[in-house]
């Protein structure tokens, strides 16, 4: 997994609306939460995405942008967002080349899925916190918000 203190590798990935989102778009403007997750439409991932949607006011108050990434194809991300009643932040597809961003951050599994991992990148583009979770484990929102408050 990428080490804290490292410069976060830039990337350009499509979101659920087929817009290209670049990590560097946020440099100097907002902290970024990279929420890697295994698969769309699964229970733990769905709760995680809905939790971040519910907590958007807290993320906004902390100058933070959430980017949720998985190796799912773009159309799956769109269908998943729609099935959840809409998602206001970016669900990114790390589909092609398969899992390249997950590999760059050291969270790609041998089976082609991204680990469940949270990486916090500060406004200057430096990794300030990184943690891997077990696949069935829900990352605690309080833990993440506490990290962001410390930036």
Whole-number Å distance between alpha carbons of 117 and 134: 9
pLDDT score for 53: 97
The domain spans of the chain are 12-149
The count of C-alpha atoms lying within 13 angstroms of the C-alpha of 130, restricted to the half-sphere facing its C-beta, is 17
Q: Give the chain's mean pLDDT.
A: 97
| Top-level class of domain 12-149 | alpha beta
pLDDT score for 121: 98
pLDDT score for 67: 98
Whole-number Å distance between alpha carbons of 151 and 140: 18
Task: Identify which of 17, 2, 16 has the alpha carbon closest to the alpha carbon of residue 118.
Answer: 2
pLDDT score for 65: 98
Helix (H) or strand (E) holding 145: helix 141-149
Task: Identify which of 134, 105, 135 has the alpha carbon closest to the alpha carbon of residue 120.
Answer: 105
Q: What is the pLDDT of residues 99-129, one digit of tens each?
A: 999 999 999 999 999 999 999 999 999 999 9
Q: What is the pLDDT of residues 21-72, one digit of tens each?
A: 999 999 999 999 999 999 999 999 999 999 999 999 999 999 999 999 999 9
pLDDT score for 73: 94
pLDDT score for 79: 96
Please identify every residue annotated as catalytic: 45
Strands (E), 37-115: 64-70, 90-93
């Amino acid at each position: 997994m990428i080490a804290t203190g490292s410069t976060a590798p830039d990337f350009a990935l499509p979101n659920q609306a087929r817009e290209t989102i670049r990590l560097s778009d946020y440099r100097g403007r907002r902290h970024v939460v990279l929420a890697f997750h295994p698969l769309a439409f699964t229970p733990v991932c769905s709760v995680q995405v809905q939790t971040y949607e519910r907590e958007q006011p807290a993320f906004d108050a902390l100058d933070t942008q959430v980017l949720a990434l998985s190796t799912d194809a773009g159309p799956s991300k769109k269908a998943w967002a729609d099935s959840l009643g809409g998602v206001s932040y970016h669900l990114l597809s790390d589909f092609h080349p398969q899992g390249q961003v997950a590999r760059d951050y050291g969270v790609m599994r041998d089976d082609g899925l991204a680990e469940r991992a949270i990486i916090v990148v500060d406004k200057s583009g430096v990794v300030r916190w990184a943690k891997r979770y077990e696949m069935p484990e829900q990352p605690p929102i309080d833990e993440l918000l506490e990290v962001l408050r410390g930036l």
